[in-house]
């Protein structure tokens, strides 16, 4: 299998050119305010499964933006798949490939080695190439020239305190690593509240890679070097959002997705590497001690987060391409861009989950339930109690299910993505006095204000599978099904009864 169906995209503009060719990019010449209006328009387009957006006349407080804004880049599943380099129907195969990469098996002879060629190529494509005069430093603003107001930073929702950088790729490395280290670098998307010309708040949740690096630097009393890329090739952006194991650097992994070595460059004023072809890079230091109250901002849950202190970054340089593009988005009640990305990552992660819990046939994390708070899982059930085993395996073995407070388990004749199917299974195969598993005092997303304590709450497992063996003493229902020959006869009759094919 080849890793990609599409050519590699070396930067954001190459990807936009591809989308344009597909008729999947809309240029907007009408003036649109970066305060609220851009969010309202973007939401409508996203809900309609519409194209990526390029705002050429964005403005704020009467002043026209000095560069175009790009939004809704990953607001449709087809564009997330394209960003991963594959056709939408091949995301599952890419997931198989990524799962196989995690399991290095000994090579057995030349034929076997050749059959593993995509994996060898994938391994080679993680070695970065260091570029000396990178496009992302065609313009380099330092000292008094540093001013975040040069960027068309959005204010997404009413009541928010300041403009918010919504698509920052925040690059950090642990102490005791070299300035040109790319293997230990972490890249995560952590929103950034602007605090005037040259300061911003970095809002990484406690369990994120960036937060762990910051704790390590702060423990030594040192400010941490930080670089923030805004607008990069789609593989780099999506690698930053994927929940990769801590030992795997997103910058290197982006090469696996792109099928090409990552192009990196030394940052201009901080000891870090940055994506050489990024549109804009902010460089600076996250203070070891200084924090500022962040928010309230609209979040992916559909509510405003509470105000909390997070570290302040002092910006030492803004570097950019000669004609930069500013990448932006909003987060809000699903669907938003992160929830669309999450629904594609669902299919990407399935092969790996199946390797760990083989009875699992399919999983759906409904975007409407914030993409992780609820899961519907189908299993190939063979023995009594197996639905509970699947729930416990998901909660116990896979960190991404830590905050999944509801798991519904169904049989594999149920389509986990179909509300009609799942509701039928819950209505006909589940009894609340026997089939609920309730847990208390488990880890819960601290953003979940419904839990009794912050960060600690309950979980519920709903076993909506057919009951077998000792699970029931009752005669169980038999599913109604028409015979195939009758269906075939009706197929033949149909056009004679309904001319247009539709019953009317
Ligand atoms: C648009 C967008 C905004 C996000 N905002 C935040 C944020 O403000 N804070 C945060 O901790 N995670 C945020 N995330 C999620 C993380 O970026 C994501 O989980 C990532 O995999 C974390 O990387 P890490 O595990 O290396 O820390 C956001 C994701 C997206 C797509």
| Topology of the domain covering 12-327 | Pnp Oxidase; Chain A (2.30.110)
pLDDT score of 208: 94
pLDDT score of 1: 41
Contacts made by residues 431-438, CB under 8 angstroms, sequence distance 24+: 434/471, 435/387, 435/462, 435/463, 435/464, 436/460, 436/461, 436/462, 436/463, 437/388, 437/391, 437/461, 437/463
Work out the pLDDT band at 22, boundaries 50, 70, 90: very high
pTM, full prediction: 0.95
pLDDT score of 114: 55
Span from the CA of 437 to the centroid of ligand 1 (angstroms): 31
How far is it, in rounded angstroms, from Cα 85 to Cα 378?
28
Nearest to 248 by CA among 122, 345, 351, 73: 122
Taking CA atoms only, the protein residue closest to ligand 1 atom 15 is: 189
Domain ranges, ordered by start, for the chain: 12-327, 337-471
pLDDT score of 500: 75
- For the CA of 187, the closest atom of ligand 1 is 26
Q: Which residues line ligand 1 (CB under 6 A)?
A: 166-167, 186, 188-191, 203-205, 208-210, 241, 243, 329, 331, 337-338, 341
Span from the CA of 183 to the centroid of ligand 1 (angstroms): 20
Span from the CA of 241 to the centroid of ligand 1 (angstroms): 6
Span from the CA of 29 to the centroid of ligand 1 (angstroms): 31
- For the CA of 338, the closest atom of ligand 1 is 31
**pLDDT tens track for 241-299:** 997 777 889 999 999 899 899 999 999 999 999 999 999 999 999 999 999 999 999 99
Which residues does the annotation mark as catalytic? 299
Taking CA atoms only, the protein residue closest to ligand 1 atom 18 is: 241
Residues sharing a CB contact under 8 Å with residue 398, sequence separation 6 or more, in sequence order: 353, 356
The dihedral built from the CA positions of residue 483, 487, 493 and 494, taken in this order, carries a sign that is positive
pLDDT score of 75: 98
**Average pLDDT for residues 216-232, to the nearest whole number?**
98
CB 205 within 8 A of CB 191: no
CATH for the stretch 337-471: 3.40.1670.10
Stretch (H or E) spanning 395 = helix 386-397
Is 495 strand, coil or helix? Answer: helix
Span from the CA of 349 to the centroid of ligand 1 (angstroms): 17
**pLDDT tens track for 83-127:** 999 999 999 999 998 888 776 565 565 566 556 656 666 666 788
- For the CA of 331, the closest atom of ligand 1 is 1
Mutate to test the pocket of ligand 1, among 42, 187, 208, 402 (most ligand atoms within 8 A of CB): 208
């Amino acid at each position: 299998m080849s890793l990609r169906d599409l050519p590699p995209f070396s930067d954001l503009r190459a990807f936009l050119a591809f989308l344009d060719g597909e008729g999947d990019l809309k240029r907007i010449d009408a003036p649109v305010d970066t305060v609220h209006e851009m969010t309202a328009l973007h939401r409508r387009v996203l809900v309609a499964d519409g194209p990526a957006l390029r705002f050429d006349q964005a403005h704020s407080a009467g002043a026209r933006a000095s560069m175009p804004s790009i939004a809704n880049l990953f607001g449709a599943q087809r564009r997330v798949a394209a960003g991963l380099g594959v056709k939408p129907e091949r995301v599952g195969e890419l997931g198989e490939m990524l799962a196989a990469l995690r399991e290095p098996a000994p090579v057995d002879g030349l034929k076997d080695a050749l059959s593993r060629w995509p994996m060898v190529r994938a391994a080679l494509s993680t070695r970065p190439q260091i570029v000396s005069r990178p496009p992302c430093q065609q313009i380099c603003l330092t000292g008094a020239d540093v001013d975040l107001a040069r960027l068309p930073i959005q204010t997404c929702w009413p009541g928010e305190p300041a403009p918010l950088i919504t698509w920052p790729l925040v690059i950090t490395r642990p102490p005791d690593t070299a300035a040109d280290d790319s293997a230990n670098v972490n890249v995560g998307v952590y929103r950034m509240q602007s605090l005037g010309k040259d300061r911003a708040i970095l809002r990484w949740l406690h369990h994120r890679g960036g937060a762990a690096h910051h704790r390590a630097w702060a423990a030594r009393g040192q400010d941490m070097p930080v670089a923030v890329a805004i607008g990069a090739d789609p593989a780099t952006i999506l690698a930053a959002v994927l929940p990769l194991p801590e030992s795997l650097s997103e910058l290197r992994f982006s090469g696996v997705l792109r099928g090409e070595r990552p192009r990196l460059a030394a940052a201009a004023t901080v000891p870090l590497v940055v994506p050489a072809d990024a549109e804009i890079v902010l460089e600076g230091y996250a203070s070891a001690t200084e924090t500022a109250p962040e928010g309230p901002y609209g979040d992916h849950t559909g509510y405003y987060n509470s105000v909390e202190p997070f570290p302040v970054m002092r910006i030492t340089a803004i570097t950019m391409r000669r004609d930069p593009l500013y990448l932006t988005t909003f987060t809000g009640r699903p669907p938003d861009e992160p929830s669309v990305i999450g629904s594609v990552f669902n299919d990407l992660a399935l092969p790996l989950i199946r390797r760990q819990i083989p009875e699992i046939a399919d999983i759906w994390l409904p975007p409407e339930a914030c993409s992780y708070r609820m899961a519907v899982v189908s299993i190939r059930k063979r023995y009594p109690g197996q639905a509970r085993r699947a729930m416990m395996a998901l909660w116990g073995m896979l960190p991404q299910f830590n905050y999944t407070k509801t798991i519904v388990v169904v049989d594999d004749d149920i389509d986990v993505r179909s509300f009609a199917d799942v509701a039928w299974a819950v209505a006909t195969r589940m009894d609340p006095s026997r089939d609920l598993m309730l847990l208390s005092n488990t880890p819960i997303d601290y953003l979940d204000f419904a839990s009794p304590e912050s960060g600690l709450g309950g979980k519920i497992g709903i076993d909506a599978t057919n009951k077998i063996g000792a699970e029931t003493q009752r005669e169980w229902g038999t599913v109604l099904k028409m015979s195939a020959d009758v269906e075939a006869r009706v197929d033949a009759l149909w056009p004679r009864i309904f001319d247009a094919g539709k019953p009317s």
